[in-house]
Structure 1
Amino acid sequence: MPAYLIAQVKITDDAWVPDYAALTHEIAAKHGGRYLSRSANIETLEGAAPDTTLIALIAFPSAEAARAFAHDPDYAPLAKARQAGSEGHFWVIDDTDAAGSIPYLPKG
């Protein structure tokens, strides 16, 4: 079942960004991941604007693949650098419909 990793990042020290931006997508790809977006163009349509610098959305073939990316030894030093120079959240969601009323999504 497809899964999506959503990363919300507020950069506090950008020293880590060049290496992270250059290398992370290859590690995600090794686990079947494909970036759908890694954008700083965040427009709030409803609610409070997030206190964030960028949001990334990566599609994976499964939640297990997303977790394998996040725990990949090659990713570990990049994650550590990101964590030291930013505040953020990573979430994994699947492609289900919690309400069960969208016909093209599995019921969640």
Structure 2
Amino acid sequence: MNYYSVITVTPTSEDWIPAYLESVVGLVNRHGGQFLARTPNHEQLEGEKQDAALRIIIGWPSKQAALDFTNDPDYQPHLKARLAGSVSQHFLIEGKDQLA
């Protein structure tokens, strides 16, 4: 079953970004993930306004792959840097239509 990470990021500091980008792409690939979108070009069409500078969507082959990435010791310093240098949210979404 596919899973999707949907991440919002608004940097409060840009110091962490170069090292994050340099390392995290390879870590995502290592765990079978694929970036589907990484963009500042997004538009909220409904609901209470929630600003974010970037929206990122990563496709995963399984929930375990996503969790393995998130818990990877090589990712931890980059995660800490992103959380310290941004306002971020990360949602893991099951690729299943349970309302059909």
1:92 maps to a residue whose letter is L
Letter paired with 1:40 = P
Between the two proteins, what is the percent identity of the paired residues?
Answer: 38
TM-score normalised by the chain length of structure 2 = 0.94
Q: What is the aligned partner in structure 2 of residue 16 from structure 1?
A: 16
Amino acid at match of 2:27: I
Q: What is the root-mean-square deviation in Å for CA atoms of aligned residues?
A: 1.0
Q: Distance in 2 between matches of 1:98 and 1:88?
A: 27
String of CA shifts for 1:11-49, please: whole Å, max 9, x gaps.
111111111112111101100000001111111222233
State the distance in 2 between where 1:72 and 1:50 align: 29
1:56-88 Cα offsets, whole Å, 9 max, x none, are 100010011001001101101100110110111
Aligned to 2:58: 58
Closer, same or farther in 2 for the Cα pair 1:42/1:49, shift >3 Å?
farther
Q: Which has the higher contact order (CA 8 A, sep 6+)?
A: 2
CA distance in 1, matches of 2:84, 2:7: 15
Q: How many residues align?
A: 100
Which structure has the bigger radius of gyration?
1
Residue identity opposite 2:81 in structure 1: A
CA–CA distance in 2 between the matches of 1:15 and 1:62?
A: 32
C-alpha deviation, 1:98, in angstroms:
2.2
- Find the counterpart in structure 2 of residue 103 from structure 1: none
- The runs of 5 or more residues in structure 1 that have no matched partner are 101-108
- The 3-state SS of whatever aligns with 1:8 is strand
Shift of 1:50: 2.0
Counterparts of 1:1-108 in structure 2, within 5 Å, are: 1-100=1-100
